[in-house]
Structure 1
Amino acid sequence: MRLSNSMPVCQQIQLPNNCPALEIPTGMLKLLERPPPAMWHKEKLVIIMGATGTGKSRLSVDLATEFHAAEIINSDKMQVYKGLDVVTNKITDRETRGVPHHLLGTVDPNADFTSRNFCDNASASIESILMKGSLPIIVGGSNSYIEALVDDDGDDEFWGFRSKYDCCCLWLDVSTPVLHEFVSKRVDSMVENGLVDEVRGMFDPEKTEYREGIRKSIGVPELDKYLRVERRHFGVDGETRARVLREAIDEIKRNTCNLASRQREKIQRLRRVKGWNIHRIDATEVFRKRGKEEVDGAWEKLVARPSSFLVRNFLYECVLT
């Protein structure tokens, strides 16, 4: 439901001819021009947060296919860029199951896509999705993007994000030791799926800085030394190249684990310091069952079903006990 386009109340009241002129303070005029946020019907959206590798993309698609006509907005800083699909671990076409995704692989890889850029583009996507009568689901591990979006009041407290939208925030969490073990194995799988070839394809020996665009992705700066060694051809034996590559892969694993820890800490700060109402979904036992037949059943029981319950109650305004 949107605000009415009818004439403001102050213009509908006809004063008697002999009524003295009224002096209305500027602040009151502002209130007369539009009702305060508490009088609006807020639109609803879902936000899925979590560290890298916790299954956020899978959960977002699960929810999007369950709740009618939902669409997904990516909030991962590196996945917004075109290219390096393996390095940035983008969701595949098959994994999307036909659910529309916004801000996924759409930005020039050399651009500096800031938090302000994300807020502007995400807000436009949200409005576009809502105009279709669909549910926006924001998902990604870049908590600084999400924080900037949700806590952004723009130029006017009346038009801030929180005044327009109600959010259901889900935190997909996995205990640190279990997650670190998983993301380390995932890096090995990414290498098998072409991570080194992807980085090699965009490697420029003339560039030594990795501070812009997609080149900041974990996996790109770590492979710089190896790719330079690889280009020498002469004077570097196969054993040396293999050692340098192993060192680069180990560094990718360490940096990915460190990223996961930082992301987890930021979510805890949003809950404890900023007071965000974030529902924690513990997926640790699911990850402990990786590779076993019962993993899908554990995902359904421990992640998909509780998340669905929370979103359903949020959308239909049931009382949670």
Structure 2
Amino acid sequence: MINIAPFVSCKYQPLINFRDGLTINRFIPPRRKDKVVIVIGATGTGKSRLSIDLANHFSAEVVNSDKMQVYKGLDIVTNKVTEEETCGIPHHLLAFVDPNETFTATDFCQHASLAVDSITRKGQLPIIAGGSNSYIKALVNDDIEFKSRYECCFLWIDVKLELLQRFVSERVDKMVKDGLVEEAREFFNPDGDYTSGIRRAIGVPEMDEYFRNEDKLINEDALDEMLQRAIENIKTNTCKLACCQRENILRLERQLGWNINRLDATEAFEKKGGESHQAWRRLVSEPSARFVHYFLGEELLNIPTPPSSSSSTSFLPAVATATH
């Protein structure tokens, strides 16, 4: 009779033994992460402009990360990019939420993840652009699924604060000429509730006193004074927002260890006309394109180092991965 040894399961008898605690998992390469570009900066610095510049240069689509621009309505007040300004570039998460709804950072993460996924599935580069840094933090730093799937390159457009404040004040004047008052009137709330939805946007609460009194039989000069005071409050609060946004970016860079490519657009804001466009291209759009080319792993030859404006700006793009 032939004796056959009992079957021994490989489960208990590994075929390969590794020394020093190595396992076969160490030899499996990690999954390649998809790339995402994130454009940040204070209000009025040109985030939409740069995102469209980059989207025209690369095969890309834009995802809005401004917490007021996600709402329908108040296009002038919230300074939404116009259809003409998009140059045909698809924009996601723009004017799609009911004005009265509450849209949270969690909601943004869910919608932004879906948008980014749909863009990458088409072989396009997602560019997230907007001034709501709390949304960016929630997505990049707190959303585990996003962190595990995507690698991010940060581009920060910075402008000398004094100059930026003058620019946003002038922009408010232009918005008033374009119909800001008439647009805000449609969202006037007699109950004075400006704590939720799109009514939180700068440009609506400031007009409350004027709207409450414009139909009353009061002195025209007094009414005009109320209007001018409201416009000045809009300018003041917009400037305060710009300061807070800039401080938030510096804090995120410091506390979370984000490496951010800073692009100083001050000269582009100081100049006018064609000289301004040339400075923007030289200091912002062209260096940004070089950063993104390198970030995407594309070989570049004979490309000069872009001008440095801070210690955080270098030719090698700053990258935030899933493990900060």
TM-score by length of 1: 0.85
- How has the CA–CA distance of structure 1 residues 47 and 251 changed in structure 2, closer, same or farther, with 3 Å as cutoff? same
Quote the residue 2:274 is aligned against.
Answer: 293
Aligned to 1:57: 48
Q: Which residue of 2 aligns with 1:220?
A: 204
Structure 1 match to 2:74:
84
Question: 1:4 corresponds to which residue?
Answer: none
Deviation of 1:153 (Å): 3.9
Counterpart pick for 2:289 among 283, 302, 308? 308
Which amino acid letter does the alignment assign opposite residue 132 of structure 2? S
Could you give the per-residue CA deviations for residues 213-267 of structure 1, whole angstroms, max 9, x where no partner exists?
10000000000000001022x1x11100110001000100000000000000010
2:194 partner letter: Y
Q: Which amino acid aligns with 1:309?
A: R
**2:179 maps to which of 183, 190, 194:** 194
Uncovered stretches (5+) of structure 1, i.e. residues with no partner: 1-15, 24-31, 155-159
Give the corresponding residue for 1:142: 132
Residue of structure 1 in register with 2:310 after alignment: none
Aligned partner of 2:230 in structure 1 is 248
Identify the match of residue 123 of structure 2 among 133, 147, 159. 133
Q: Does 1:262 align with 2:272?
A: no
Q: What's the offset of the Cα at 1:35?
A: 9.2
Identity of aligned residues (%): 54
Deviation at 1:203, TM superposition (A): 1.6
1:230 aligns with 2:214: yes
- Partner SS for 2:36: strand
Q: Of Structure 1 and Structure 2, which has the larger fraction of its residues in helix? A: 1
- TM-score (norm: length of structure 2): 0.84
Provide structure 2 residue ranges, at least 5 long, that are not aligned to the other structure: 1-5, 14-22, 301-314, 317-324
Which letter does structure 2 place at the counterpart of 1:41? R
1:280 matches 2:262: yes
Q: Conserved in 1, the CA contact under 8 Å of 2:187 and 2:204?
A: no
Verify: 1:39 aligned to 2:39, yes or no: no
User: Which amino acid counterpart does residue 146 of structure 2 have in structure 1?
Assistant: F
Deviation, 1:162, is: 2.3
CA contact (8 A) 1:102 1:125 kept: yes
Runs of 4+ aligned residues of structure 1 deviating over 4 Å after TM superposition are 20-23, 34-38, 317-321
The total of aligned residue pairs comes to 288
C-alpha displacement at 1:36, in angstroms? Answer: 11
Cα distance in 1, alignment partners of residues 209 and 53 from structure 2? 40
Aligned equivalents of 1:146, 1:38: Cα separation in 2: 29
Kindly tell me: are residues 275 and 223 of structure 1, through their superposed partners in 2, closer, same or farther at Cα, counting changes over 3 Å?
Answer: same
Q: Is this contact kept in 2: 1:37–1:163, CA < 8 A?
A: no
Instruction: Report which stretch shifted further, 268-277 or 43-52.
Output: 268-277
